[in-house]
Structure 1
Amino acid sequence: MAENEKPTPDDIRVLDARSLRGLAHPLRMRLLDALREYGPATASQLADRLGESSGATSYHLRQLARYGFVVEDPERGKGRERWWKSAQRGIRMGVNELLHNADPSVRGAMSTMLYELATTHGEEMSTWLGTWREWPEEWRRAWDISDWSTRLTPELAAEMRDKVYEVIQSYREKEVGQDVENSARFRVHLHAFPRDDD
């Protein structure tokens, strides 16, 4: 662990080269996101939600299980019906290590994963923009889409990123249950990167 790196909670999976290869597929990423967002489900339920065939979702769920991202939920289901749930609350990637890995297949898997994440973020924002009028007034005042530019060194940029993470984590610790009136899952996307002056 690096000197400035904080320990990872038990419910956060740290990706290595092997597990990255197991996850870096668009449908697998969507399946895992759906299980984390909406809770346990069968391959057929996930197929309906994602507009895929149940054969495809079933195959990719088994692959996710092979790499330890999902597990069967034995408390649900009857007979041959298999229910799946996420094995962890989230994942963490050593982006720089994986993007600079000596193995080109690891670098390719990391690129696939990053582009898929960026696509998902764009789709989620587009969905919000298309549906925000359907939400109560309190939620229409609580959302944000902003961008800022400031001139920083890499060290200052990393410091700012870490402080933003701390703020977000402090609110994850205050998370409320589904039964709390007027609560909703609240998505936060962070995109931070340098730009050329030209």
Structure 2
Amino acid sequence: MAEHETEPRTGPASTTGSRPEREDHDGSEPGRSSGTGGPGGPSEGGTYRSLDPRSLRGLAHPLRIRLLRSLRHDGPATASQLAEKLGESSGATSYHLRQLAAHSFVEDDSSRGKGRERWWKASQEGTSVDHSLWLDPDPAVRGAADLFVHEVATMHTEEVGTWLGTAHEWPDAWRLSSDLSDFTLRLTPAQALELNNRVHELIGSYRAGEPPSPDAAMVRIHLHSFPRRTSREDDE
């Protein structure tokens, strides 16, 4: 039995996607994570990066995660452009872009100008995180995994807030086709995993569909599913 708790239909949902399982922050199967492409760069090819302990620790910094999200969603940019967008110093963005490059998350965009400042682009469309990283014997790896998903959750909240604050700027068709809903079900772990996988498969079918029409826009979709204890269960 499903209880539809809220359904204010307000606007296109957003995402980078993140599931502490295997596929893409976007993904499915045990080990998903966060991912979303943007205009320009290899992200158009639909490639995903599976994190191992070393690459996870190279990515698990709030500014690096946000830099990578910006390049994936909005396309190539310089360190100065990203600094202005994210409210950081160009020195900080330049340093963390180099660290991302050292772990092959970003790369030079050779198609851009040859001026004094480098242009950067994302090297993959999404990121995949396996549940095994939360079981790693190294506490630093487990801490990096926790930081990563907490930052993704924070960005999801910000994206929804941005949509709600700007929905009036979009055509009525987009406002009517957006969704902000939540549901409560009683499921076993196996059923919850099956549900998640089926939702991911459905989303994947739209990735593989026809080329976007002229009125298509980037649509962010967040999927959060998790158990919660009721007060009655806490008392038992």
Stretches of 4+ moved more than 6 A in 1?
Answer: none
The residue identity in structure 1 corresponding to 2:188 is T
Matching of residues 100-179 of structure 1 within 5 Å: 100-174=135-209, 176-177=211-212
* Structure 1 residues 105-144: Cα deviation after superposition (integer angstroms, max 9, x where no partner): 0011111111101100000001111111111000000111
**Aligned alpha-carbon RMSD (Å):** 2.1
Identical-residue share of aligned pairs (%): 56
Count of residues paired in the alignment:
192
Aligned partners of 1:5 and 1:116: how far apart in 2? Answer: 22
CA shift in 2, pair 1:30/1:18, >3 Å: same
Gaps of 5+ in 1: none
The structure carrying a bigger helix percent of its residues is 1
Give the TM-score normalised by the residue count of structure 2: 0.77
CA shift in 2, pair 1:10/1:130, >3 Å: closer
The residue identity in structure 1 corresponding to 2:200 is Y
Q: Are the equivalent residues in 2 in contact too, given 1:25–1:113 (CA < 8 A)? A: yes
Aligned partners of 2:118 and 2:174: how far apart in 1? Answer: 36
Aligned partners of 1:196 and 1:162: how far apart in 2? Answer: 23
- Stretch of structure 1 that moved more, 74-83 or 181-190: 74-83
- In the other structure, the counterpart of 1:65 is 101
**Is residue 196 from structure 1 mapped to residue 229 from structure 2 by the alignment?**
yes
Question: What SS does the corresponding residue of 1:88 show, helix, strand or coil?
Answer: coil
Matching of residues 29-40 of structure 1 within 5 Å: 29-40=65-76
* Structure 1 residues 40-72: Cα deviation after superposition (integer angstroms, max 9, x where no partner): 111111111111111000000000000010011
Q: Are the equivalent residues in 2 in contact too, given 1:41–1:85 (CA < 8 A)? A: yes
Gaps of 5+ in 2: 1-21, 23-27, 33-44, 232-236
Question: What SS does the corresponding residue of 2:182 show, helix, strand or coil?
Answer: coil
- In the other structure, the counterpart of 1:27 is 63
Larger RCO (alpha carbons 8 Å, 6+ apart): 2
Q: Are the equivalent residues in 2 in contact too, given 1:28–1:60 (CA < 8 A)? A: yes
Aligned partners of 1:62 and 1:175: how far apart in 2? Answer: 36
Q: Are the equivalent residues in 2 in contact too, given 1:176–1:183 (CA < 8 A)? A: no
The residue identity in structure 2 corresponding to 1:106 is V
Q: CA shift at 1:176, angstroms?
A: 4.3
Q: Are the equivalent residues in 2 in contact too, given 1:40–1:86 (CA < 8 A)? A: yes
Give the TM-score normalised by the residue count of structure 1: 0.91
